[in-house]
Structure 1
């Protein structure tokens, strides 16, 4: 069951990661990043993604709410 959950969380994950890495590169290649942005947008539309989240944030929120 965890495997299917991880796959759901990773929808368009490769495209998002590629875009983030492009933005972080020096020198910055705007044309390449715009192309990667368009790929991510197409994936989001195809997969009907509504929102992205980071797994670490979810874990941190759970940990911090339990300690208060």
Structure 2
């Protein structure tokens, strides 16, 4: 069940990760990365994404506040 929940939360996540990994590669392949950027943009438009955030940051804040309360 967690896998399906993670997929639902990570809208266009695969496209974003692919683009980030492309940019990090050496040598840098601008044409490939541009193609991946177009794919990410298409996904964002199709799924009507307005803003991205990192879920791990949210969890860290929740965990630290939970520890403070104990």
Scaled to the shorter chain, the TM-score interval is 0.7 to 0.9
TM-score (norm 2): 0.80
TM-score (norm 1): 0.82
Counterpart CA distance in 2 for 1:4 and 1:27 is 35
Higher Cα Rg, which structure: 2
Q: What is the aligned length?
A: 68
1:14 counterpart residue number: 14
Partner-residue secondary structure (3-state), 1:27 = coil
CA deviation after TM superposition for structure 1 residue 2, in Å: 5.3
Cα RMSD of the aligned pairs, angstroms, is 1.8
Unmatched runs of 5 consecutive residues or more in structure 2: none
Unmatched runs of 5 consecutive residues or more in structure 1: none
Counterpart CA distance in 2 for 1:15 and 1:3 is 17
2:69 paired with 1:58: no
CA deviation after TM superposition for structure 1 residue 4, in Å: 5.2
Summarize the alignment of residues 1-68 of structure 1 with structure 2, pairs less than 5 Å apart: 5-68=5-68
